[in-house]
């Protein structure tokens, strides 16, 4: 693993290494967002959606409330999440509505999910969610702290659906902020000692949901006991995830 990281760094110039380090640690602000970027990207997004939406849940949502799915502020979330790559944003929108339909059903497909849409088990999971908001870093990016062991204390009555609905709510609540959409999010995954999850159950479903939601992942900090063990487990987890989701990275 050390050799892989070393080789990857060697392939970068000194300036590239410095730039990546500054972005990861929130020293350098590289965000650009204005109508000159957004307007043509919105036109491209509409074109891509027209080609791929046939038979999708997105098309169902559009037929129910076209104003909701075509709202400028709503579509801007996906474009910002994909750094104005209209094709990637269109694909993510389809995944988003598919995930939302699975979690909340057709009746809530074209409405913003609020705390009132969560049941008691969802809220219990929300209070013990793997993903917790932890303020902003020096660049104004929203920080998420991920602690796998938080979900271990939940009772057996809490289902994967409850956990996923809670995670959906946390992330979508964060990206309501335009600052978060533009600057992105930083994830700190803490899995050391007793704070690591005892089971990988539900990991692939959670990963699919996270990749379907419109938030720009600016940096990811991984804190683990044994990097080699994590690296050996990750391919097994990822093997359960359809390749279309990896296209969103």
Environment class of 96 (CB within 10 Å of its CB; exposed 0-12, middle 13-18, buried 19+): buried
pLDDT at 185 over 50: yes
What are the sequence ranges of the domains in the chain? 31-111, 113-249
**Structural contact between residues 212 and 96, judged by C-beta atoms closer than 8 angstroms:** yes
Does domain 113-249 fall under CATH 3.40.525? My reply is yes
pLDDT exceeds 70 at position 115: yes
How much is the pLDDT for 190? Answer: 79
Q: Is the pLDDT of residue 244 over 50?
A: no
C-alpha neighbours within 13 Å on the C-beta side of residue 104: 26
Q: What percent of the chain lies above the pLDDT cut of 70?
A: 68
Q: Could you give the CA distance from residue 109 to residue 96 in angstroms, rounded to a whole number? A: 10
Q: Which of 199, 116, 201 is nearest to 165 (CA)?
A: 116
């Amino acid at each position: 693993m050390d050799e892989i990281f070393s080789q990857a760094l060697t392939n970068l110039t000194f300036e590239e290494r410095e730039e990546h380090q500054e972005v990861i640690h929130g020293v350098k602000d590289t965000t650009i967002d204005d109508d000159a970027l957004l307007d043509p990207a919105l036109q491209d997004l509409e074109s891509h959606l027209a080609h791929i939406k046939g038979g999708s849940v997105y098309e169902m949502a559009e037929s129910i409330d076209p104003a909701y799915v075509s709202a400028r502020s709503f579509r801007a979330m996906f474009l910002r999440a994909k750094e104005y790559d209209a094709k990637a944003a269109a694909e993510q929108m389809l995944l988003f509505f598919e995930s939302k339909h699975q979690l909340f059903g057709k009746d809530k497909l074209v409405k913003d999910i609020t705390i009132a849409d969560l049941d008691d088990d969802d809220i219990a999971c929300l209070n013990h969610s793997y993903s917790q908001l932890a303020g902003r870093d020096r660049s104004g990016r929203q920080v998420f702290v991920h602690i796998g062991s938080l979900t271990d204390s939940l009772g057996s009555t809490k289902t994967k659906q409850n956990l996923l609905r809670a995670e959906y709510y946390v992330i979508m609540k964060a990206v309501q902020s335009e600052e978060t959409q533009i600057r992105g999010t930083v994830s700190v995954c803490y899995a050391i000692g007793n704070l690591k999850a005892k089971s990988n159950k539900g990991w692939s479903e959670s990963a699919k949901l996270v990749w379907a939601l419109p938030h720009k992942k600016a940096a990811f900090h991984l804190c683990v006991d044994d990097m080699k063990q994590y690296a050996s487990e990750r391919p097994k987890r990822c093997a359960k995830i359809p390749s279309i989701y990896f296209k969103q990275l």
